[in-house]
C-alpha cells in the first residue's frame, strides 16, 4: 500500500507566561525563550526537533505580540507570516482555533500537529517516529489524535486521559487507543488512583488533527466555540485585524482541553515513549541537569562541601555551597532566589507579591 | 589630687587577613576595610570611636604594605608617618613591638593603647570612659593593662584571662583585677568550665602600657623577644628599612599573648562593659544586624516566605527566601556563598580549596 502524501504542519504554542522559572524567566522572557533544559532555548529545540520531518515553511508559532521579536530572532528560518500573533492572551483554545484556521485556509486536509514550545523531549528519534505515525493516523481518521504520557508518579500538576486498554489498534506502525475521558488536574488521592489503575496517561498537550476534522468536532461537540471558529475564518479571509481582535475579546478564555478535548468523541491517544517532561518548575530540573555524587544538580563553577540535593543556577560566578541541602538557588543580575526544593511552586507567590507591590522589576 | 597629663597614643592593629567574611572580604579587602557592622568601615569606626579622647596625630596603624593605600584612604586625618608598615605579616607580637617602639622613641612614658581594627563596640561612651581609666592606670602602674570581656557563652574561638576576683582595686573610677593567667583558645569542655567558674574573661586583644614598662616586661619575662625589641629600636633610630626587614625575617611569628602576656607578671585586667564583639564570622552578625520577626537578619530588598533564621547580604539585588532556614547567604559580583548557619567556620575551607586550585579569583 502506497503511503498517501502527508501535508504536515507544526503549530508551536509559544504564548506561555513562564512564571515558574523566575528569576531566570521574566514576563518578557518566559521559559520557552530560555536554554533551561539544553544548550539552546526550548523553542529553538522544539523547532529543530521537527525539522527532519517538517520543513520550516510549514512550521507556525502562535503567541502574543510582545513575543514576536523573540520568536523571529530565535527561529529566523520561519516565514514571517507563520509567526501568528494572538490579539490577546486568552488561554489555549483561542490560540489553537486561530492557528488551525490559518492552516485551514491553506489546506483543510493538511495535518496540524499542536506542540508545546517549552517541553523537554529526550529521545528525538522516537518522538519523530511517533509524531509521523500520529500524523498519518490523523490524516486518515475522522477524529482527533493526542499524545498521552505514561505517568511515573501521582502528579497533581497534569491533566489525565483515560484510555481503553483493551481496544488497541495499530496504525502507521504504532499502537493507538481510544481516549475515553479527559480529566483535569486531580487531587492527590485521585491522582494516586489514576496511577494505580493503569488506565490513565498524562495529557501532554500535544494534539494532531486535520482542520476539517477539527471544525467538524467543534461544530458537533462545542457549538459555542464553532461560532468563534467561523468568525476567525471570516476575519482571516478579510485580513481584518480588527475583526480578529474582536473575536479574541469575545471568545471564552478556556483551555483546548476544556473547550473541545473533554467533549469530542472518537479521539485516539498514542502513548508517547520519548522521554517527555513539561519541565514545569525548578525542581523538575533535578531530572534534567547532570548531578554530582551528592545529588547536586549544578551548572558552572561550584564548590560543594557537605552539600547535597541542591539545584544551582549561577552562571559566570563562583558558588560555594557549605552544609546545605535540598535547596534551589538561582542567581541573576538583579534577583536571587533561595527556595526549599519542595516549595518551588511558591515562586508564583513571590511574583504575586512583587506585582501587588506595584513593582516592574524584577518581574 | 590633680590628674597627671596623659600622653595617650592609640595603635590600631590593621593587618588581619579577614578570610572569615568571604566572599565579601578578600585578600586585599579584609574585614577591617568593610562596613560589616555599621555604616562605616570597621577601621573608620575604630578611629572615630577614640577621636574624642585621642587626636588623630596620636593614632597609629600597623599593617602590611598592601593595606597602606586602604588605610590612607579610609583614615585621611592620620599623619602619613603614623601609618606603620610591617615588613612582613608575622602575627601580632612583631607588629606590637614595632608600634610600641615607634611610640617609645617619641615618649617612653606615653601610654600605648593597642586596639583591634575590626571589633564591634556598641557603647562608645562606656568604652571611652573605660579606655580613659585604663590609660590612667597604665600611666601610673609598672604593669601591663588589658581589657577582658565577660563571657556570654563557652566560646572556643577566644582566649581567656583568669582574674583574681577577690583582689579588686579601684583606679581612675574603674574596678581592676589582677590577671592571673592567660589561656589560649580552649576545647569546649574547658570553655564550659571557664564560663561556669566565673573566674574567666575573654581576652579582647586590647592592651595598654607605657613603652618603658613594655620593654621592662619583655626584658624580664620574654628575653628572646627583648633582643628583637632592641634591634627594632636600633633600626628605627637608624631609619633603616633593611634592618627592620631583617628583624621581621628573624623574629618568631607569635601572638603577643603567647610572646608576652602569658608570661608577664603584674598585669591587671579591666572588665569591658561596652557591648564588645569581635565579629569573628558571618553568624556573629545575627546579633548585630537588625532581624525581622522570623529572625532573618537581612539587609536590603528581601521577601521572606516561611523563611526564618537566615542571614543575607545581597546589596543592590532583590532576594526571595522561600521555605528556608538557618542559612547564611552572601552574594557578590563574582562569588555566592550559601552556608549553613552552624558551619560558617568552614568558609576557610572554601578559600583553601580555591588557593589549592591555584585560583586568584574570587580570593
Is B245 inside a domain boundary?
Answer: yes
Q: What is the pLDDT of residues A116-164, one digit of tens each?
A: 999 999 999 999 999 999 999 999 999 999 999 999 999 998 999 999 9
User: Which range is least confidently modeled, A5-19, A67-81, B241-255, B330-344?
Assistant: A5-19
Same domain, B256 and B312: no
Yes or no, beta carbons of B336 and A331 under 8 Å apart: yes
One domain, residues B230 and B313: no
Note whether B319 contacts A: Cβ–Cβ < 8 A: yes
pLDDT-based confidence at residue A4 (cuts at 50, 70, 90): low
pLDDT number for residue A299: 79
Task: Return the residue of A nearest to B324 by Cα.
Answer: A340
Handedness of CA B353, B356, B360, B363 (dihedral sign): positive
First to last CA, chain B: 56
Q: How far is B62 from chain A (nearest CA, A)?
A: 32
**B30: Cβ–Cβ under 8 A, 6 or more apart, which residues?**
B16, B17, B18, B19, B21, B67, B118
A349 touching B (Cβ < 8 Å): yes
pLDDT score at A279: 92
User: Measuring CA to CA, which residue among B135, B146, B107, B140 is closest to residue B50?
Assistant: B135
Does A193 share its domain with A326?
Answer: no
Average pLDDT over residues A188-207: 97
pLDDT < 50 positions in chain B: 1-2
Among the partner-chain residues B306, B317, B353, the one whose CB lies closest to the CB of A303 is B353
The DSSP annotation for A234-254 comes to HHHHTT-HHHHHHHHHHS---
Interfacial B residues in 206-265 facing A (CB < 8 Å): none
Question: Phi/psi at B191 (nearest 5 deg)?
Answer: -60, -40
Do B48 and B140 belong together in one domain?
yes
Same domain, A108 and A131: yes
Q: Using the predicted structure, report yes or no on whether residue A282 has a pLDDT greater than 60.
A: yes
In a shared domain, residues B177 and B74: yes
Q: Do B245 and B305 belong together in one domain?
A: no
Of B237, B205, B235, the closest CA to residue B118 belongs to B205
Summarised one tens digit per residue, pLDDT across range A216-225 is 999 999 999 9
What pLDDT is stored for residue A41 in this prediction? 97
Does residue B1 form part of some domain? no
Give, for A47, the enclosing helix (H) or strand (E). Answer: helix A42-50
Nearest CA in chain A to B320: A337
Strand partners, B174: B171
pLDDT band at A362 (very low <50, low <70, confident <90, very high): confident
Using a CB–CB cutoff of 8 Å, tell me whether A353 touches chain B.
yes
**Residue A1 domain-assigned?**
no
Are residues A303 and B287 in contact, defined by beta-carbon separation less than 8 angstroms?
Answer: no
Instruction: Select the residue of A23, A318, A343 nearest B334 (Cβ to Cβ).
Output: A318
Closest CA to B203 of B267, B269, B132: B269
pLDDT at A228 over 70: yes
Closest CA to B340 of B291, B276, B297, B282: B282
Evaluate whether residue A361 is within a structural domain. Answer: no
Residues B273 and B288 grouped into a single domain: no
Q: Of A277, A295, A316, which one is at a domain's C-terminal end?
A: A277
B279: left (phi over 0), alpha (psi -120 to 50) or beta: left
CA distance B324 to chain A (A): 6
What pLDDT is recorded for position A3?
54
What is the arithmetic mean of pLDDT over A275-285?
A: 93
Q: What average pLDDT does chain A have? A: 95
Cβ <8 Å between A343 and B350: no
Number of domains in chain A: 2
Where does the pLDDT of residue A1 fall: very low under 50, low under 70, confident under 90, or very high at 90 and above?
Answer: very low
Residues 288-307 of B with CB under 8 A from A: 303, 305-306
The Cα of A201 is separated from the nearest Cα of chain B by a number of Å equal to 32
pLDDT at res. B362: 83
Dihedral in degrees, nearest 10, Cα atoms A319, A322, A323, A329: -20
Q: Which of B244, B277, B310 is the last residue of a domain?
A: B277
pLDDT of residue A283: 93
pTM above 0.90, yes or no: no
Burial class (CB in 10 A: 0-12, 13-18, 19+), A335: buried
Residue A109 per-residue DSSP state = T
User: What residues contact B106, with CB distance under 8 A and at least 6 apart?
Assistant: none
Q: Is A312 a member of any domain?
A: yes
User: For residue A2, is it within any domain?
Assistant: no
Whether A226 and A319 map to the same domain: the answer is: no
- The answer to whether the CB atoms of B338 and A343 lie below 8 A apart is no
Same-domain pairing of B265 and B286: no
Alpha-carbon gap, residue A246 to A254, rounded angstroms: 16
| Separation between Cα atoms, residue B37 and residue B122, nearest integer Å | 10
Contact A137, A170 (CB under 8 A): no
Cα B214 off chain centre by: 19
Same domain? For B88 and B175 the reply is yes
- Pick the last residue of a domain from A277, A304, A324: A277
Q: Has residue A187 been placed in a domain? A: yes
**How many Å apart are CA B267 and CA B220, to the nearest integer?**
13
pLDDT tens per residue, range B300-353:
899 999 999 999 999 989 999 999 999 999 999 999 999 999 999 999 999 999
In sequence order, what are the beta bridge partners of B303? B320
By residue range, what is the domain housing residue A110? 8-277
Residues B167 and B127 sit within 8 Å (Cβ to Cβ) = no
Residues 24-43 of B with CB under 8 A from A: none
**Interatomic CA distance for residues A96 and B149, integer angstroms:** 73
Are residues B115 and B167 both part of a single domain? yes
Contact A322 B343 (CB under 8 A): yes
B68 and B83 Cβ atoms separated by less than 8 Å: yes
- The set of cell numbers assigned to A339 is 527556595
Give the tens place of pLDDT for each residue, B108-120: 999 999 999 999 9
Whether A125 is in a domain gets the answer yes
Chain B residues with beta carbon closer than 8 angstroms to that of A343: 306, 322-323
What CATH number did the domain enclosing A112 receive? Answer: 3.90.550.10
Query: What local confidence, expressed as pLDDT, does residue B1 receive?
Result: 45
- In this prediction, residue A27 carries a pLDDT of 86
Amino acid at each position: 500500500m502506497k503511503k498517501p502524501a502527508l501535508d504536515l504542519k507544526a503549530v508551536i504554542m509559544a504564548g506561555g507566561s513562564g512564571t515558574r522559572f523566575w528569576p531566570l524567566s521574566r514576563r518578557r522572557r518566559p521559559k520557552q525563550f530560555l536554554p533551561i533544559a539544553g544548550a539552546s532555548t526550548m523553542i529553538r529545540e522544539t523547532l529543530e526537533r521537527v525539522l527532519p520531518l517538517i520543513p520550516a515553511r510549514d512550521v507556525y508559532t502562535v503567541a502574543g505580540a510582545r513575543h514576536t521579536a523573540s520568536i523571529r530572532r530565535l527561529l529566523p528560518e520561519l516565514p514571517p507570516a507563520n509567526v501568528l500573533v494572538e490579539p490577546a492572551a486568552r488561554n489555549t483554545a483561542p490560540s489553537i482555533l486561530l492557528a488551525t484556521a490559518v492552516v485551514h485556509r491553506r489546506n483543510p486536509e493538511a495535518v496540524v500537529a499542536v506542540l508545546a514550545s517549552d517541553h523537554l523531549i529526550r529521545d528525538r528519534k522516537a518522538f519523530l517516529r511517533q509524531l509521523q505515525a500520529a500524523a498519518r493516523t490523523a490524516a486518515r481518521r475522522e477524529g482527533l489524535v493526542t499524545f498521552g504520557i505514561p505517568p511515573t508518579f501521582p502528579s497533581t500538576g497534569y491533566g489525565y486521559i483515560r484510555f481503553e486498554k483493551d481496544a488497541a489498534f495499530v496504525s502507521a506502525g504504532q499502537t493507538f487507543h481510544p481516549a475515553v475521558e479527559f480529566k483535569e488536574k486531580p487531587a492527590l488521592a485521585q491522582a494516586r488512583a489514576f496511577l494505580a489503575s493503569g488506565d490513565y496517561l498524562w495529557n501532554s498537550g500535544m494534539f494532531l488533527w486535520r482542520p476539517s476534522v477539527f471544525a467538524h468536532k467543534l461544530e458537533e461537540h462545542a457549538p459555542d466555540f464553532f461560532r468563534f471558529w467561523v468568525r476567525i475564518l471570516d476575519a482571516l479571509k478579510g485580513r481584518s485585524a480588527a475583526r480578529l481582535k474582536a473575536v479574541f475579546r469575545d471568545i471564552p478564555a478556556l483551555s483546548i482541553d476544556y473547550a473541545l478535548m473533554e467533549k469530542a468523541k472518537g479521539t485516539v491517544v498514542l502513548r508517547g515513549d520519548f522521554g517527555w517532561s513539561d519541565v514545569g518548575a525548578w525542581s523538575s530540573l533535578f531530572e534534567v541537569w547532570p548531578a554530582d555524587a551528592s545529588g547536586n544538580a549544578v551548572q558552572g563553577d561550584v564548590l560543594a562541601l557537605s552539600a547535597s540535593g541542591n539545584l544551582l543556577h549561577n552562571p559566570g560566578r563562583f558558588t560555594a555551597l557549605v552544609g546545605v541541602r535540598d535547596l534551589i538557588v538561582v542567581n541573576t543580575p538583579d534577583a536571587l532566589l533561595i527556595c526549599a526544593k519542595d516549595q518551588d511552586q511558591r515562586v508564583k507567590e513571590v511574583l504575586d507579591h512583587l506585582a501587588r507591590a506595584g513593582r516592574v522589576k524584577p518581574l
